[in-house]
A and B are shown apart, each in its own frame.
Chain A
C-alpha cells in the first residue's frame, strides 16, 4: 500500500510508469499476499459461509432436512417483534454507555495528562478494569447486586429488598454500569493519546489572551481532539453494539434486556437453527458495517475541520 503512495501525486505519470515502479508494485503485492490470504481464510470464508447458511434451512437437530430458502430467514427475523425489541435494547445500551464513557473518559484522560506525581501508577491503576475479563467482571457485579449476597443493598438509601435483576430498568442500569466501569479506561486511553498531541504553547497563548479554563477546553482541547474523539467513539460503538457477556451473565436476556448478540446466540447455540441464527449474525454484521461506514465518512469530513487554522 505504502509503495504505491508516492506514485499518486502525479496520476498522469502512471501511464508511462517505469519498469521500476511496476516491479515495486508487484513486490508490494507479493509481500502483502500472505496477509491477504490469511485474512481471507479467517474472515472472508466464515462471513461467506454465514451468508450461505443464512439463505438455507439448516437445523443441526434435523440433519435430514434442509435446502435453499432464499430470503425467508431474513423475512422471519425482520418481521419478528423480538428482533426490533432487541435491536432497540442494543442501541439504547450503545448510546448510553458510549455517552457516559466519553464524559468520564475525557475527565480521566485530563487527570492522567495533568498528573504530576506517580504518572505511571495513575495510568496503570486506571487501566485495571479494562484488564479484567468481561465475564469475571460481570459475575463480580452480579454478586455485588444480588439481594442475598451483595453489598449494594446494604448501602444507605438503597432498599435491602431491592431486586436489581427483577425489573427492566434496574437491570439495564446495572448492565450499563458494569459496561461503563469496564471500558471507560479504554476510552480514556484513546483520548489521552489525542490530548498529548496538543501543543502546550497554544494554551499559554490563550491564557495570555485572557481565555478562561472552560474556554480553553472548548476552543482548543475539543476541536484539536476531534479526530481522537471520533476514533474512540467508533471503536467503542462497534464494541458496544455487540454487547454479549455482561447481559448473558447477569440476566441472560430476561426482563427484556436482550441484545441482538444474545438473540443470535439463542438461535445458533441453543436452538441449533443455523439458518435463522446466521441470518441474525449477518444482520448484526451489516449493522456494525453501517456504524463503521457512517463514522468513517463523518471522520473523514471532520478531520479537516480539526486542523489548527483550518
Chain B
C-alpha cells in the first residue's frame, strides 16, 4: 500500500473503495475501474475500416472495453511472421487477432487461439457462407469469427474483348491474338499470392492439394492440367514481362496502364481503376475466374480475415464480445464501404452498400465465394505453401507439353511438407 501511494497515488485514490479493489489496481491492470484495454492485431486497411469499427465497437460496449488497433504490414507472409513470434512467446499483449483464412489450422493446433462456443458461436456464424466458416474451423471447432472474405474475378477490357473467355486456354489464345494489350495479369511472384493462383487452378482442374491435414491428394491427371496452364501462360506472348515478380499491385498497375486486356485479381481492382485510370475503368468488364477444364465450373480463390481471441489474453470474456462486434454485420458493411472488402455474410449482398460498391457484379462476387476452392487447412500450412512456391517457381520453368517431372517434384515436396521434414 505504501509503494502504491507513493508511485501511483492518483490511480490508487480513484480505485480505493476498499482494500481489495485497491490491491487489484496496484497490480497494474485496469480491472475494476474503467474500460478494459483490448489490443487488436490486424492487417492495415488503407480505407480506415479497422479504426472505424474499433471506435464504433468500443463506443457501443458502453464502457466495458476500449479497442486499440495495432497494425500489421499489408503482406500476408509478414503479418504472420510478426504474429507467430508474439504468440509463440505467449505474449499477453495481444487480445484479438485478425487471422488470415490460411492460419486457422496452425494457430488452433498450437493452442494460440480460443475456441468459440455457445450462443456467440451461433451469432458469429449466422448467415455466413459455409466455405468461409470452413476457413475459420479446425477439427470440428470454430476458432474465429468470420469478418471479411475475398475472391478473385476475371477482369477484362470490354473495348478489346467482346466475349469474356470461359477457360484459361481460350484466354491465352485471345490475348496472343490481340495487337495491343495482349497480356494477362496474374500473381506469380514467389509469395503467398502464387500459392493462391496455383491452388485455384488445381482446384478448378478437379482435384485438391490436400485431402486432410496430413494427406496429400493431388490426383495426377487434373494436377498436370493445372500445371500446364501455368507453363503455357508463362511461356507465351500473353505473359507480361515481369510475370515472375508480379503481385496484386503490379497486376493492377499493368491493367490500369493499358498493358493488359485481362487480369485475375481481387475486387479492390475495380474501385482502384475507377479512380486511378478512369478511361480504362469505364471499359472494365468482369466475369468468373476462368475454367481449367472446359465445362467444369472453376473454383475461384478465397481470401479474407477471421477474428480470433488470443489464448494469452488477460481479458478473454470481453475479448470474445469485442471480436463478435468487430466481425458483426455493421462492421462488415463498413469494410465494404471504406475498403471494398466483400462481407462474409451472404445476406448482405443485396444491401445497398454492397451493390453500390460492386456495381453490377455483387451477385458474381457472391457466386464466386459460394463456389470457391479454399486453400488447404493444415497446421503445417506454411510448409505446404512454401513447398508449392518452391516447386513451381519461376513459372516459366514449367513445360506445358511435359508436366510429369514437375508434377513428381511437387508431389514429393508436398509429402515432405505435410510431415514437416526436410528443408523448404
Contact = CB atoms under 8 A, between A and B. Distances in A.
Interface string A48-84: 0000000000011111000000000000110010110
B215 interface: no
A263 B386 contact: no
A253 B190 contact: yes
A148 B109 CA distance: 42
B110 A166 contact: no
Contacts of A255: 190, 244, 394
Given A63-B111, A254-B190, A266-B386, A76 B422 contact: yes
Given A61-B379, A271-B386, A272-B84, A82 B110 contact: no
A61 B109 contact: yes
B85 interface: yes
Nearest to B84: A272
B120 to A, nearest CB: 26
B242 A76 contact: no
A163 interface: yes
A195 B424 CA distance: 46
B421 A76 contact: yes
A62 B394 contact: no
A125 B191 CA distance: 38
A223 to B, nearest CB: 45
Contacts of A60: 84, 88, 110
Nearest to B75: A252
Interface string B270-285: 0000000000000000
B423 interface: yes
A11 B234 CA distance: 73
A59 B380 CA distance: 10
Contact of B106 (A61, A163, A273, A276): A61
A270 interface: yes
- Measured as residues with beta carbon below 8 angstroms from the partner, the interface class of chain A is 20 to 34
Given A165-B245, A166-B245, A270 B423 contact: no
Nearest to A256: B394
B245 A62 contact: no
B423 A267 contact: yes
B242 A147 contact: yes
A80 B241 contact: no
A82 B421 CA distance: 13
A269 B85 contact: yes
Given A165-B245, A166-B245, A272-B88, A83 B423 contact: yes
A161 interface: yes
B22 interface: no
Interface in A241-297: 251-255, 263, 266-267, 269-273, 276, 280
A61 B384 CA distance: 14
Contacts of B85: 269
A63 B379 CA distance: 12
B420 A271 contact: yes
Contacts of B380: 61
A271 B190 contact: no
Contacts of A76: 421-423
Interface string B97-122: 00000000010011100000000000
Pick the most buried of A82, A266, A271: most chain B CB atoms within 10 A of its CB.
A271
A255 B379 CA distance: 27
Contacts of A271: 382-383, 386, 420, 424
A163 B420 contact: no
Contacts of A280: 423
Pick the most buried of B109, B243, B422: most chain A CB atoms within 10 A of its CB.
B422
A255 B188 CA distance: 12
B242 A163 contact: yes
B394 A148 contact: no
Contacts of B244: 163, 165-166, 254-255
A146 B23 CA distance: 59
A147 B109 CA distance: 42
Interface in B45-92: 77, 81, 84-85, 88
Given A266-B424, A276-B423, A61 B110 contact: yes
B424 A166 contact: no
B379 A161 contact: no
Contacts of B189: 254
B393 interface: yes
Contacts of B386: 266, 270-271
A34 B262 CA distance: 66
A163 B241 contact: yes
Contacts of A273: 420
B160 to A, nearest CB: 20
Pick the most buried of A80, A147, A166: most chain B CB atoms within 10 A of its CB.
A166
B131 interface: no
Nearest to A255: B394
A148 B246 CA distance: 11
B250 interface: yes
Nearest to A159: B241
B410 interface: no
B253 interface: yes
Contacts of A253: 190
Nearest to A264: B423
Nearest to B241: A161
Nearest to A267: B423
Interface string A189-224: 000000000000000000000000000000000000
A148 B81 contact: no
Nearest to A254: B190
A272 B383 CA distance: 10
A78 B386 CA distance: 19
Interface string B372-409: 00000001101100100010011000000000000000
Pairs A-B, 7 closest by C-beta atoms? A254-B190, A163-B242, A161-B241, A60-B88, A80-B423, A82-B423, A166-B244
17 contacts: A59-B420, A61-B109, A61-B380, A62-B420, A162-B241, A165-B242, A166-B242, A166-B243, A251-B190, A252-B190, A255-B244, A263-B423, A266-B423, A267-B423, A269-B81, A271-B386, A271-B420
